[in-house]
Amino acid sequence: MALSSAQQSIHALVPLVNSASAAVDIVTRATTAPDVFSFGFLFLHPALTHHLRSTADSARHHELLRIFAAGTWQDYVDLIGRDDDDDDDHEDQLPRLTDAQEKKLKQLTLVTLAGKSHALAYDELLAALHLPDLTALAGLVVSCVYANLLTATLDTRHQVVRVTRVNAGRDVVDNQAVSRLQQVITTWAGACASTIDDLNSQVRIVREKVVRQASDVREYNRQVEAINKQILAPVVKAKAKDKTEAKEDGLRNNDLMEVDEGPVSESSFRKKRKQRTVS
């Protein structure tokens, strides 16, 4: 996805960060801005990472940035121990989210789930996103669609969210995620290679079939020509014979006509006979 104006502004501020508080401010800006959904650049930036790890409070924001880059709402809940409100130690591991941050993390979680399945059951989404009802779920799905994170519809009849396209991917920020991505790519490449081999095999079969058909057509035409010659040979021979006989008959008739016309000299008869033979 192209960088939004807010994302461009945040990226421009990163080289200016010179303290832990400034680094925390960058994280807060990025995780709050409604049109920023990619955080890998910030998480992997050496200077920003250095300042975020320099104090205990800023380190919490570094972990929060990791969750926004590649984690889910459940990852955040597990770290803060939201299910145990009396345990303050767990809550100190991450800062509390604002409403805008909570909405964005749930949007990113929905993107992650949509990348795994294109038919997401309402009940599973309500549990994974900790949403109170279907109205809240519908609102979150619509917000993702308008943010161009994914293309999806609500199938109320079957109680599922049907995803037709995921427009935004999550960031890859650790070796484990890289390994999973490599495995997916390797599997995909193997499937492509197998498909190409199948297609080449089909092309080879088609070409061999075409060659055989062309050979069969040539043999068929040869046999037809031979049969035609056998059938037509007597006819052609008979026509040639008739033509020869007709020509001889014509010569005899001409000779008789000349006899009827009266006596002629021998030299004149030979001359006329020669002319008729030439013609």
What pLDDT does 28 receive? Answer: 92
| pTM for the predicted model, two decimal places | 0.63
Judged against a pLDDT cut of 90, whether residue 111 lies above it is answered with: yes
Report the 10 Å Cβ neighbour count for 11. 16
> At 104, is the pLDDT very low, low, confident or very high (cuts 50, 70, 90)?
very high
Judged against a pLDDT cut of 50, whether residue 90 lies above it is answered with: no
d(CA 62, CA 59): 5
Does residue 48 contact residue 82 with C-beta atoms inside 8 Å? no
DSSP state of 264: -
Q: What Cα–Cα distance (Å) separates residue 1 from each residue in 7, 167, 181, 261?
A: 11, 8, 19, 112
d(CA 109, CA 161): 14
Most confident of the ranges 35-39, 117-121, 229-233, 256-260: 117-121
d(CA 164, CA 145): 11
Which of 154-163, 182-191, 223-232, 254-263 is predicted least confidently? 254-263
> At 83, is the pLDDT very low, low, confident or very high (cuts 50, 70, 90)?
very low
**How big is the CA angle at 40 (ends 37 and 42), to the nearest 5 degrees?**
95
Most confident of the ranges 47-56, 208-217, 218-227, 238-247: 47-56
Q: What percent of the chain has pLDDT over 70?
A: 77
Residues 196-205 pLDDT 10s: 988 888 898 8
Judged against a pLDDT cut of 80, whether residue 239 lies above it is answered with: no
Judged against a pLDDT cut of 60, whether residue 129 lies above it is answered with: yes
Q: What is the 3-state secondary structure (H, E, C) of 39-107?
A: CHHHHCCHHHHHHHCCCHHHHHHHHHHHHHHHCCHHHHHHHHCCCCCCCHHHHCCCCCCCHHHHHHHHH
Average pLDDT of the chain to the nearest whole number: 82
Residue 276 vs residue 71, higher pLDDT: 71
Judged against a pLDDT cut of 70, whether residue 268 lies above it is answered with: no
Name the 3-class secondary structure at 269. helix
Residues 28-43 pLDDT 10s: 999 999 888 888 888 8
